Amino acid sequence: MEHIIENLRQFWQFTGFANFEIGYLIMIIIGCLFIFLAIKFEWEPMLLVPIGFGILIGNIPLFAGLNVGVYEEGSVLNILYQGVQRGFYPPLIFLGIGAMTDFSALIANPKLLLIGAAAQFGIFGAYAISLALGFDAAQAGAIGIIGGADGPTAIFLSSRLAPTLMGAIAVSAYSYMALVPVIQPPIMRLLTTKKERLIHMKPPRPVSPTEKKLFPIIGFLLTAFIVPSGIPLLGMLFFGNLLKESGVTKRLANTASGPLVDIVTILIGVTVGASTQASQFLRWESVKIFIIGACSFVIATFAGVLFVKFFNLFLKEGNKINPLIGNSGVSAVPDAARVSNNVGLEYDPKNYLLMHAMGPNVAGVIGSAVAAGMLLGFLG
C-alpha cells in the first residue's frame, strides 16, 4: 500500500497541477485569446492558430527533466525548434512566398519600389527606441525588425542577434501583422486629404513573361551583391519566384507554394508559440518589446504614407500615386495592400487600389530582407 501511495505521490509531482504557477495561466489565456481571434475574426488564422496552440503546448507546467519541453535538449519539441533557433525555417517560408508572389504590379510600375524602401523607417525607428529603452545594440536590431512586418525575417534575425528575445519578438511581429487592419487606417486617414484619397491611379501596363523571368534573377543578383548577409532570405525569395515564373518548374513551384510552405508554417508557428514559456516570456522586456513593436508599425505607416505625399510633389498630374497605398510598404503581404484597398473604397467605391498596393507590398518584403541583412552585417 505504501508503495502505491509513494508512486501516486511521485505521479502527482509530475503533473501540471503540482508544478502550476500563475505565469503559466496567463500564457494559457494569451494562447486561447490568439486562437479565439483567429477563429472568430479570421485575423491571420494560419499563424495565430498554430502560435496560439503552441503557447498552450509550451505552457503546460512541467517537472524539469522529463525531456519534453522545448528548451530541453534532445526533446522532440527541441528538435523541431532547431529550425527556428538555427534559422532554417524562415528561408523556406520565403521560398514559398516567392513562389506565390506575383511581382507584376511592381515590374509594371517600378517606382512603387521606393515606397517599400521608405516604410523600412519603421525598423530603424524601433531600433532607436529600443536603444533609448536600454536594450543593447544587437537586441535593439532584433526588436527593430518587427517594424518590417515580416514574421520569418523577424524570426531569422532575432535567432541570430538576440535568441533569448525571439519568442517575444516573433509573437509581437505576428500579432501586429494581424492587427494591421486596426493600426493603419487611422494613420492613413490622419495623414491624407480627401482629395488625395480620391486619386485614381493609371492601370498598370501588361508585363511580359520575359520581364517576369528576369525580375528574380536581376533582383537577387543586385540585392545579394549589395547585402550578402541577406542571401538566405533574398536567395530563397527570388528563387521561389523564378520557379513560379520560369514556366518549366510548375511542380516545384506548386510544392514550394503549397505543401512545403504549409508544413514549415505549421512547424514555425507551433514551435515559436511553444518557446513562449512563462518563465521566458513574462518579463518586463517582453512588455517593452510589445510597446516598441506597436511604435514600429506606426512609424512604418507614417513613413510610407508621407513618402508617397513627398513623391507626388515631383510627379505630373495624372501620374500621381494615391497616398493610401503608402501603408502597404510594410511587408505584411497581402493584408497591408488589402487595407489600402478597403480604405480607398470607403471614399470612392470605384477606386480599387489593391493591384497598385501590391507593388509596394512586395517591395516591402525585399526591403525588409535587405534591412535585415544590413542589421546582421552591422550587429551580427
Partner 1 sequence: MKHLKLFLAVVGLTLCFTAGAQSQDAMRLNEYLVINTDDFQDDFGQQNAWIELFNSSYGTVDIAGCFLSDDPDNLKKYAIPGGDVLTKIKPRQHVIFWADNQPYRGTFHVSFDLAGAKEIIFTKGDGKTIIDRIPVKHDLGENVSFGRAEDGIGSVDGSGEGWNVQPRTSPSTNNALIDKAAKPDRMKAIDPYGWILALTAMSVVFLALILLYFIFKAIGNANIKAGKKRSAAAAGTDVKASAYGETPGEVYAAIAMAMHLYQQDDEGHDEESFVVTLHHTDRTYSPWSSKIYTLRQTPSLNKRR
Interface residues with partner 1 (CB under 8 A)?
39, 106-108, 110-111, 113-114, 116-117, 120-121, 123-125, 127-128, 130-132, 136-138, 140-141, 161, 203, 205-208, 210-211, 214-215, 218-219, 222-223, 226-227, 350, 352, 363, 366-367, 370-371, 374-375, 378-380
Alpha carbon 138 to chain centroid distance?
19
Residue the block writes with cell 512547424 = 267
Rg (Cα) of the chain, in Å, rounded? 22
Q: Using alpha carbons only, give the angle 217, 220, 222 rounded to the nearest 5 degrees.
A: 105
- In the bound complex, what is the minimum distance in angstroms from residue 176's beta carbon to partner 1? 20
Per-residue DSSP letter, 150: -
Q: Which is nearer to partner 1, 27 or 324 (CB)?
A: 324
Q: Which is nearer to partner 1, 121 or 174 (CB)?
A: 121
Q: Which is nearer to partner 1, 111 or 189 (CB)?
A: 111
Separation of alpha carbons 188 and 339, rounded Å? 10
- In the bound complex, what is the minimum distance in angstroms from residue 219's beta carbon to partner 1? 6
3-state SS of the chain: helix, strand, coil percent to 5? 75, 0, 25
Q: Which is nearer to partner 1, 70 or 140 (CB)?
A: 140
- In the bound complex, what is the minimum distance in angstroms from residue 61's beta carbon to partner 1? 31
* Angle formed by the axes of helices 45-58 and 166-178, nearest 10°: 150
Q: Which is nearer to partner 1, 188 or 227 (CB)?
A: 227
Indicate left, alpha or beta for 318 from its phi (over 0: left) and psi (-120 to 50: alpha).
left
Full DSSP string of 253-279: HHHIIIIIHHHHHHHHHHHHHHT--HH
- In the bound complex, what is the minimum distance in angstroms from residue 148's beta carbon to partner 1? 10
- In the bound complex, what is the minimum distance in angstroms from residue 342's beta carbon to partner 1? 12
Q: Which is nearer to partner 1, 324 or 369 (CB)?
A: 369
Cβ proximity of 201 and 353 under 8 Å = yes
- In the bound complex, what is the minimum distance in angstroms from residue 367's beta carbon to partner 1? 5
Q: Which is nearer to partner 1, 62 or 237 (CB)?
A: 237
- In the bound complex, what is the minimum distance in angstroms from residue 218's beta carbon to partner 1? 6
Cβ proximity of 120 and 368 under 8 Å = yes
Alpha carbon 279 to chain centroid distance?
24
Per-residue DSSP letter, 375: H
